Amino acid sequence: MQARMTNPAQVLPGAMQSILDLLNAAKEGGVPESTLELVHLRASQINGCAPCVYGGMASARKHGVSEDQLSTVVAWREAPYFSDAERAALALAEAATRIADRADAVPDEIWDEAARHYDEKGLASLVLMVAVTNLFNRLNATTRQVAGVTW
């Protein structure tokens, strides 16, 4: 496999730093980094972004995500390894990633369940993490970045 081009975030001056600044801001909302890593991994699985899934697995382990969770995040609804708060975050991540799948992209029941577990800063953190993940996924998928190759 070979990438079509260098990752666009590296080609344009300042793009990567700006994206990383946004990623770091997403970590300031009080949501456990393990939960943010699960959100990143699930959105990346949905989008089929091999580099983000590959990197997300390593980063998730580093931030305390268990092997049971890593093995079953793709089927989190049927797995006993996730807290109610993690489930709410994963449901929000899926809905916000699949916005074209339904008229009401993020239904009230999904939002309300997330809001039961996270305050406004936490919700902002989750929404930003999903947005940044989707940005990385689109950059990588469009240019066919290769899993395991560092920038």
pLDDT in tens, 58-89: 999 999 999 999 999 999 999 999 999 999 99
Look at residue 13 in the predicted model and tell me its pLDDT. Answer: 85
Contact 103, 95 (CB under 8 A): no
Counting runs of H as helices and runs of E as strands, what totals does the chain give?
8, 0
- pLDDT score, position 90: 98
Q: Provide the residue type at 12 as one letter.
A: L
Q: pLDDT of 36-55, one tens digit each? A: 999 999 999 999 999 999 99
Identify the pLDDT of residue 148: 85
Residue 151 confidence (pLDDT): 53
Which tokens belong to 89?
């975050």
User: pLDDT tens, 99-151?
Assistant: 999 999 999 999 999 999 999 999 999 999 999 999 999 999 999 999 987 65
**How far is it between the farthest Cα atoms of the chain?**
44
Rounded-to-integer distance, Cα 33 and Cα 132, Å: 15
